[in-house]
Amino acid sequence: MQIISEPANDEGALDAFFSIVTGPPGPNPAQLMQKICLPVLVLWGDQDPFTPLDGPVGKFFSSLPSQFSNVSLYVLGGVGHCPHDDKPDLVHEKLLPWLAHLAAL
C-alpha cells in the first residue's frame, strides 16, 4: 500500500489529483480496444482492493479475451493491485513466455 500512497506526499500531488478528477475523461477502454491490433497481455491480481475482478472494471477486462483474439488474461492468485510489486516472480512466469511467443511471430 505504501507504494501506492507515497506519491500523494509529493509536491504538486494535490494539483495532479485535482486535474485528474476535474479534467476531461478522454476515451474509454471499450473505445480504445477496437483500435488495438497488437497482442495485449492483461495480468490481474485476484486480491486487488481498488479494481476487484468482480467489479465493473475487472469484469470488462475479464471479458476481453472472449471478444478479441489478440488479448490474453491471467488472473494472479494472492496478488493485489500491483502484481509486479506483490509477486514479481509470478509476473515473470506469465510475462516471459508471452514475450517469447511474440518474438517467434
At 8-58, the pLDDT tens digits run 778 887 887 778 788 888 888 888 999 999 999 999 999 999 999 999 999
pLDDT at 1 over 90: no
**Domains in the chain, CATH or no CATH each:** 29-104 (3.40.50.1820)
Burial 19-42 (b: 16+ CB within 10 A, else e): eeeeeeeeeeeeeebeeeeeeeee
Q: What is the residue-averaged pLDDT of the chain?
A: 90
What's the pTM value of the predicted model, to 2 decimals? 0.78
